[in-house]
Amino acid sequence: MNKIFVNVENLADLLSIKGQYGKKGIIISGGTDIVVRMKNNMIDPEVLISIKKLAELKGIVARKTKVIIGAGTSLDEIENSTLIKENYYPLYQAVFNMASPQLRNMGTIGGNIGNASPAGDTIPPLFLMDAEIILYSKKGKRSISVTEFFKGPGKTVMRDDEIIHSIILKNNYLTEKNSGYIKVGQRNALAISIASVAYFKDKKYKRFAFGSVSPIIHLIELKFGLSDEQLLKEIESYITPIDDVRATKEYRKQVIINLVKDIYF
Amino acid sequence: MNIKIKVNGQLRSVEVEHNTTLLQVIRKDLNITSPKSGCEKGECGACTVLLDGKPITSCLVLAFTVDGSEITTLEGITPKDGLNPIQKGLINAGGIQCGFCTPGFIMSGHNFFSKKEDFTIDELKRALSGNLCRCTGYKKIVDGMLLAAKEMGIKVKK
């Protein structure tokens, strides 16, 4: 079987090729996940479409109270953006602690979202930002709230002819003082999250989104003044951790409880 | 597909398949052997090279995706008759044992120092966090990098 592999240099070409090949057309951005899966014989793409050279999908732009991040923007560029660090601190912190310098230069936010892993570190912060995922296809553009986008591990609402174009961030009040992203892994660099918490604290309520402890991430809002027991009950109603190579479900649960208690009380 | 890449300043043209990695091109087609094949999944950093000026793990880069790019390996930052400051520093601090990880560490260190007038030890360690060494225990690698910084006139912040 002859493989098809192309570099696309403009959006129109990308949409046309993706429309033509549909599910068979695998988009490769940073490649940090796809190439590993190809090497492990987990996937054998017939059509590889590289968007590494597609400038239209790169960059971070401020628009009034929103910020738009191109799907092909590298994690390194997000980490080094003062706009992100000052207004969307949990995303900055998530990216700062991801992978390694080399992989942050390669990996992109669109790739992290498109993979739809419950351990994807950029995803829980997006829930605090009321983020919208902008999808394009030959038929046009649509915008999906981050709360509706994910349907399970590796599953999203995207159609086979669609691509992730950009991510819109709202709620630009997430600063180092009132918010953050805490990740627990086996070591600092190069570790996949065992459990993680993105959080925001206000005078009235506290918001959380947990990573790696449920198939779909939820935005959780907790009022002030809950007792220890009530808090525990609330947390338990949102998480369904699993055992895997990195940790047991009991360990994951305890980690989340400890992290939330530290933030809440 | 035929790709054209500039490697250490020289334009090279190579025929690649869909799954040929940049590391394979560098080592097998171009016979440049400082980048090493270690874990082959982007975690050990032994294959680190600069792609358009930024360190990446070349084992995870599909060669066809970097058509038209510039690549720099350790060979490209080493003077013809001698050693660069990081190589000297690592030798003098005993930061080299088996040497397999060394080219990758040097590329990460080189990229870090090329952007800095001063730095903290924590920043340096973070810049090296994508490179694994199973011999030295890292301390002597950091010591070697500090010797190199001193030679290049780059200061350690307190």
CB contact at 8 A, B45 and B109: no
Res. A1: pLDDT tops 80 = no
Query: Which amino acid makes up residue A43?
Result: I
B55 found inside a domain: yes
Q: Are the CB atoms for B42 and A102 separated by under 8 Å?
A: yes
| Sequence-distant (≥ 6) Cβ neighbours of residue B156 within 8 angstroms | B118, B119, B120, B121, B146, B149
Query: How does residue A221 score in pLDDT terms, banded at 50, 70 and 90?
Result: very high
Instruction: Give the pLDDT of residue A115.
Output: 94
- Percent residues over pLDDT 90 in chain B: 99
Q: Are residues B96 and B149 in the same domain?
A: yes
Residue of A nearest to B124 (CA): A101
Calculate the alpha carbon distances from A237 to A190, A201, A241, A253, B101 in Å: 30, 20, 11, 11, 46
Identify the CATH number of the domain in which residue B11 sits: 3.10.20.30
What is the side-by-side order of every strand in the sheet holding A140-145? A60-63, A66-70, A163-169, A132-137, A140-145
The mean of the pLDDT values for chain B is 97
Of the pLDDT bands very low, low, confident and very high (cuts 50, 70, 90), residue A80 is very high
pLDDT at position A187 over 90: no
> What mean pLDDT do residues A79-103 have?
97
| Residue B140 counted as domain residue | yes
Confidence of residue A190 (pLDDT cuts 50, 70, 90): confident
Same domain flag for B89 and B60: no
- Structural domains in chain A, sorted by start: 4-50 (3.30.43), 56-169 (3.30.465.10), 179-264 (3.30.390.50)
**Chain B interface mutation, best of A53, A93, A100, A108, highest count of B Cβ atoms under 10 Å:** A100
The CA dihedral of B88, B89, B95, B96, to the nearest 10 degrees, is -10
- Domain housing B111: 85-156
Nearest to B64 among A50, A103, A188 (CB): A50
Q: Find, among A37, A43, A83, A40, the residue nearest to A60 by Cα.
A: A83
Tokens of B30: 């171009």
CATH number (domain holding residue B97): 1.10.150.120
- What three-state secondary structure class fits A51? coil
The 10s digit of each residue's pLDDT in A224-262 is: 889 989 988 988 888 888 888 888 999 999 999 999 999
Q: What is the mean pLDDT of residues B2-6?
A: 98
DSSP A234-256: HHHHH------SS--HHHHHHHH
Q: Which residue of B has its CA nearest to A54?
A: B65
Residue B24 and residue B61 in one domain: yes
ipTM: 0.96
Cβ pair B43:A100 closer than 8 A: yes
Q: Are residues B68 and B102 in the same domain?
A: no
A45 contact residues in B (CB cutoff 8 A):
18
Residues of A in contact with B17 (CB under 8 A): 3
Closest CA to A60 of A46, A77, A41: A77
Q: Which two structure tokens, joined as six digits, stand for A114?
A: 């498109």
Return d(Cα A16, Cα A162) in angstroms, integer.
Answer: 10
| pLDDT of amino acid A72 | 98
What's residue A173's pLDDT? Answer: 93
pLDDT tens-digit map of B115-147? 999 999 999 999 999 999 999 999 999 999 999
A41 neighbourhood in chain B, CB within 8 Å: none
Q: State whether A39 and B41 contact (CB < 8 Å).
A: yes
Please name the member of B55, B60, B130 whose beta carbon is closest to the beta carbon of A31: B60
pLDDT at A18: 98
- Per-residue pLDDT averaged across B2-27, rounded? 98
Mean pLDDT of A134-156: 97
B55/A35 touch (CB, cutoff 8 Å), yes or no: no
CA A264 to chain centre: 24
- Residues A35, B48: C-beta atoms closer than 8 Å: no
Establish if A2 touches chain B: CB-CB under 8 angstroms.
no
**pLDDT band per the 50, 70, 90 thresholds, residue B83:** very high
What is the domain count for chain B? 2
User: Do B53 and B14 share a structural domain?
Assistant: yes
- Co-location of B51 and B98 in the same domain: no
Helix (H, G, I), strand (E, B) or coil at B46: coil
- What is the structure's pLDDT at A225? 87
Same domain, yes or no, for B94 and B150? yes
Give the range among A45-54, A108-117, A179-188 with minimum mean pLDDT: A179-188
Pairing of strands A4-7, A47-50: parallel
| Parallel, antiparallel or unpaired: strands A205-211 and A220-223 | antiparallel
Rounded Cα distance between A195 and A210, Å, is: 7
Largest CA distance in chain B: 51
> Domain end: B24, B47, B73, which one?
B73
Question: Is residue B79, in this structure, part of any structural domain at all?
Answer: no
For A17-38, give the secondary structure using H, E and C: HHHHHHHHEEEECCCCCHHHHH
Q: Give the pLDDT score at A153.
A: 93
Say if CB A33 and CB A103 are below 8 A apart.
no
Share of chain A above pLDDT 90, in %: 77
Dihedral over alpha carbons B122, B127, B132, B133 (to 10 degrees): -60
